[in-house]
Amino acid sequence: MTRQNAGAAGVAADEGVPTNEVVAGNGGVVAGGDALTVASVSAGFGPLTILHDISFSVHPGEVVVILGANGAGKTTLLRVIAGLVPVRQGEIHLRGVPIHGRPAHLVTRLGIGHVPSGRELFPKMSVADHLFIASRLCAPARREAVRKRVFGMFPILEARAQQLAGTMSGGQQQMVAIARALMTDPKVLLLDEPSTGLAPIAVKAVFETLPRLREQGVSTILAEQSLTLGLSYADRAFVMDHGQIVLSGTTRDLENDRRVVDTYLGR
């Protein structure tokens, strides 16, 4: 939940939308298959098209990294999936159910967690309040279990629950942003440039959460500018350039692929 849709949390909690229970068109809960499917998606702002015919899928518990230089379209892609930028063409399905065209707070309730670039925290709001607001988008019966899981991943946040976000270090703020998204009990977590502006020790602490999310069955889509960092933690990678996916494969395949470096250097 970002600052744009944080205020909608209270409304969303009372709209009667199934909380993180993705329901198929016939009324049955979807089981198995891909966690997320993006099919032929194009999107942009005003007359400008940023994304061009993007297609990929993510498996349950998989960590996928979206690589690319600044301006490649990584952030726009994550914002489109999160419902913050409208789809012009194509479809996005979460566990078989279409989520494109839905408002962002409903996309969150259906199982998409979003950690935006820059974190977008409220400086004068406590850690506890950030997490409480986000928990309104989690099924009531799940809230306590989710809270314990989140504090198990970030024990420092439990110890500093009453601390104002604006007084925390960059690494701690990133933990709050991730914890806020996890409090919605997502099936797919979108992480937008989580290493930006962080000290190496903080980057390590943040990225070490990815294997734990995998163990819990949460899929992660990571937008990352650092080639080495992104390939170190992901299962598969997609390389973007000018709003298109130009390369894809396992991280092992792409580690030694000269075309990845050439794309970054604009060759």
Instruction: Find the mean pLDDT for residues 82-110.
Output: 96
Per-residue pLDDT of 121-143, as tens digits, reads: 999 999 999 999 999 999 999 99
Contact (Cβ atoms closer than 8 angstroms) between residue 81 and residue 68: no
Instruction: Find the mean pLDDT for residues 63-76.
Output: 94
The class of domain 3-264 in CATH terms is: alpha beta
Residue 111 pLDDT? 96
Q: Is residue 8's pLDDT more than 80? A: no
Contact (Cβ atoms closer than 8 angstroms) between residue 18 and residue 4: no
Q: What is the largest CA-CA distance in the chain?
A: 53
Q: The pTM is what?
A: 0.85
Share of residues in the chain with pLDDT > 70 (%): 86
As a whole number of angstroms, the distance between CA 11 and CA 142 comes to: 19
- Contacts of residue 60, Cβ cutoff 8 Å, sequence gap at least 6: 34, 35, 187, 217, 219
Per-residue pLDDT of 19-49, as tens digits, reads: 454 333 322 333 458 999 999 999 999 899 9
Per-residue pLDDT of 235-265, as tens digits, reads: 999 999 999 999 999 988 888 888 887 776 5
Residue 260 pLDDT? 80
Q: Is residue 159's pLDDT more than 70? A: yes
Lowest-pLDDT range, 14-18, 67-71, 106-110, 212-216? 14-18
As a whole number of angstroms, the distance between CA 167 and CA 157 comes to: 13
Q: Where are the domains of the chain?
A: 3-264
Q: What is the mean pLDDT of the chain?
A: 86
Q: Is residue 207's pLDDT more than 50? A: yes
